[in-house]
Amino acid sequence: MFSRTFFKINNLLISQSVRKVLVQPAANMSGNSSKLLNSNMWDSDPELFSIIQKEKKRQQAGLEMIASENFTSLPVLQCLSSCLHNKYSEGLPGQRYYGGNEYIDEVELLAQKRALEAYNLNAEDWGVNVQPYSGSPANFAVYTAIAEPHGRIMGLDLPDGGHLTHGFFTPTKKISCTSLFFESMPYKVDPETGLIDYEQLAKSSKTFRPKVIVAGVSCYSRALDYKRFKEIADDVGAYLFSDMSHISGLVSAGVTPNPFEYSDVVTTTTHKSLRGPRAAVIFFRKGVRSTNAKGEKIMYDLESKINQAVFPGLQGGPHNNAIAGIATAFKQAKSPEFVEYQKQVVANARRLAAGLQEKGYKIATGGTDVHMLLVDLRGTGISGAKAERILEEISIACNKNTVPGDKSALNPSGFRLGTPAITTRGLVETDIDKVVDFIDRGLKLAKEASVVSGPKLVDFKNVLEKDETFKNKVAALRNEVETFSNSFPLPGYPDY
């Protein structure tokens, strides 16, 4: 693991150098223009800088346990604030609609090369588009390319651990545009085990006949059986589309099953376990897809379809600063330190699940294979929303989440926890034991407050904010959490 002392010394040096030499006014500009364009933000906009510093302090003092968040590296932050931001570059390398893109092309080609290398992919078999702004546009581009309007898709239902962009809708409303513009049918988990019911998916797919089957999750703590997904997809002639946004860092490090062996298309965000910038990439197969009854080879035609769906179909100019961040994040993913980090992420998640189970809490699916877990609060007397609220009050960030069988995403019965961000800060298993204790004490405090407030969340919040007894208890526990959290470093700039 990395040294906390090294982090502190390095950040101090960076802070001093940034403040001293970050900007020098241009000599050939007028006074007003020079000041407007070249003054540091902390001088030109102290009001905004103060807010950013408060957010930095919150991140430093709290425990970030939202499974889809992480703390990116200093090199990624430097890419994001670089001159690459200034350039328009619609189109692909060598096929731009603007001039002056020779170095932008180099950046994007490097990002593509490193993306393939991160997952040991052969460029003859796989291509990649690194331009999607984030995960949701990336997924929509895939459907646009291979399902086409009103094409049929099947993804894991959101209350069962799926994602909005896998086709979520309710009986009264199409929530995600992936269900508005495409015809969606969800598959489910077994209500007893919480595990994906592959047999029911196989049966349903034969009736629905989807064009695309999505293997991907947002809150599901077990490894996916990509081989079984592929068998089901092949049986109905569907594309297998794997959304590995949550686990892409784990996949790169080889600590969870690899979707590339069986998938036709793979997407990922780059800011979750991969620890890069807030962006996304799309991988697509090339070469022979299948052989027909006559022995003729049927080739993949995904490259042009997906590239055109991204641009000009759904996006304009790519964010070149983010693409540079993607490139350096994928370089880091090939390092031994990154592999050890991912192993620690999983070890911490398993320790967290086991510790909460020892305290008497139910964990969906009985544990975790990956970086996250779902705490099922049914029967405890508190809701997921109340759990989220009390933990936020004591500086532990998580999110309320549905558990299998829930009827409302706004009033769910569980909450989700993840370990990528706290592992980035250097926490190991013995530290996780303390985190378990903090969470347990917070939830017990929530139970006490619920007895006073009753079932409504608004009344619960009022008790925490106005009842002196609970205010003092919350403040005391928050102080313990923040003292503990402040002993671990954050990567990046120390004060913003």
Confidence at residue 295, expressed as pLDDT on a 0 to 100 scale:
87
Q: Is residue 288 part of a domain?
A: yes
Half-sphere exposure of 148 (CA within 13 A, CB side): 3
First to last CA, the chain: 24
177 is catalytic: no
- For residues 411 and 319, membership in a common domain is answered with no
Confidence at residue 420, expressed as pLDDT on a 0 to 100 scale:
98
- For residues 223 and 359, membership in a common domain is answered with no
Residue numbers of the chain with a pLDDT score lower than 50: 1-3, 5-9, 12-17, 19-21
Cβ neighbors of 18 (< 8 A, separation 6 or more) are 493
Confidence at residue 5, expressed as pLDDT on a 0 to 100 scale:
47
Confidence at residue 421, expressed as pLDDT on a 0 to 100 scale:
98
**Tens digit of each residue's pLDDT (9 = 90 or more) over 153-169:** 999 999 999 999 999 99
Q: Residue 280: which domain range?
A: 85-333
Confidence at residue 425, expressed as pLDDT on a 0 to 100 scale:
98
- For residues 329 and 412, membership in a common domain is answered with no
- For residues 101 and 235, membership in a common domain is answered with yes
Distances (CA, A) of 99 to 87, 91, 93, 134: 10, 11, 11, 26
For residue 7 the two structure tokens come to: 């982090």
- For residues 326 and 411, membership in a common domain is answered with no
3-state SS track over the chain = CCCHHHHHHHHHHHHHHHHHHCCCCCCCCCHHHHHHHHCCHHHHCHHHHHHHHHHHHHHHHCEECCCCCCCCCHHHHHHHCCHHHHCCCCEECCEECCCCCHHHHHHHHHHHHHHHHHCCCCCCCEEEECCCCCHHHHHHHHHHHHCCCCCEEECECHHHCCCHHHCCCCCCCCCCHHHHCCEECCECECCCCCCECHHHHHHHHHHHCCCEEEEECCCCCCCCCHHHHHHHHHHHCCEEEEECCCCHHHHHHCCCCCHHHCCCEEEEECCCCCCCCCCEEEEEECCEEEECCCCCEEECCHHHHHHHHHHHHHCCCCCHHHHHHHHHHHHHHCCHHHHHHHHHHHHHHHHHHHHHHHCCCEEHHHCCCCCEEEEECCCCCCCHHHHHHHHHHCCEECEEECCCCCCCCCCCCEEEEECHHHHHCCCCHHHHHHHHHHHHHHHHHHHHHHHHHCCCHHHHHHHHHHCHHHHHHHHHHHHHHHHHHCCCCCCCCCCC
- For residues 160 and 246, membership in a common domain is answered with yes
Confidence at residue 21, expressed as pLDDT on a 0 to 100 scale:
44
Of the candidates 302, 333, 364, which is a domain's last residue? 333
Confidence at residue 6, expressed as pLDDT on a 0 to 100 scale:
43
- d(CA 166, CA 246) in angstroms, rounded, equals 14
For residue 106 the two structure tokens come to: 């180099």
Confidence at residue 167, expressed as pLDDT on a 0 to 100 scale:
96
Q: Is residue 494 part of a domain?
A: no
Q: Is residue 15 part of a domain?
A: no
Q: Is residue 126 part of a domain?
A: yes
- For residues 164 and 241, membership in a common domain is answered with yes
Choice among 219, 246, 319, 398 that is catalytic: 219
| pTM, two decimal places | 0.93
- For residues 270 and 164, membership in a common domain is answered with yes
CATH of the domain at 466: 3.90.1150.10
Confidence at residue 34, expressed as pLDDT on a 0 to 100 scale:
84
- For residues 372 and 289, membership in a common domain is answered with no
Other Cβ atoms less than 10 A from the Cβ of 40: the count is: 12
- For residues 397 and 414, membership in a common domain is answered with yes
Confidence at residue 71, expressed as pLDDT on a 0 to 100 scale:
98
79 is catalytic: no
Confidence at residue 409, expressed as pLDDT on a 0 to 100 scale:
76
- For residues 310 and 246, membership in a common domain is answered with yes
CATH of the domain at 117: 3.40.640.10
Q: Is residue 7 part of a domain?
A: no
Of the candidates 316, 333, 350, which is a domain's last residue? 333
Q: Is residue 9 part of a domain?
A: no
Confidence at residue 14, expressed as pLDDT on a 0 to 100 scale:
47
Q: Is residue 20 part of a domain?
A: no
For residue 333 the two structure tokens come to: 């993913």
- For residues 326 and 345, membership in a common domain is answered with no
How many domains does the structure of the chain reveal? 2
Choice among 163, 271, 319, 371 that is catalytic: 271
Confidence at residue 195, expressed as pLDDT on a 0 to 100 scale:
97
Confidence at residue 28, expressed as pLDDT on a 0 to 100 scale:
58
Of the candidates 310, 333, 356, which is a domain's last residue? 333
Confidence at residue 407, expressed as pLDDT on a 0 to 100 scale:
80
293: which strand partners?
none
Q: Is residue 476 part of a domain?
A: yes
Confidence at residue 77, expressed as pLDDT on a 0 to 100 scale:
98
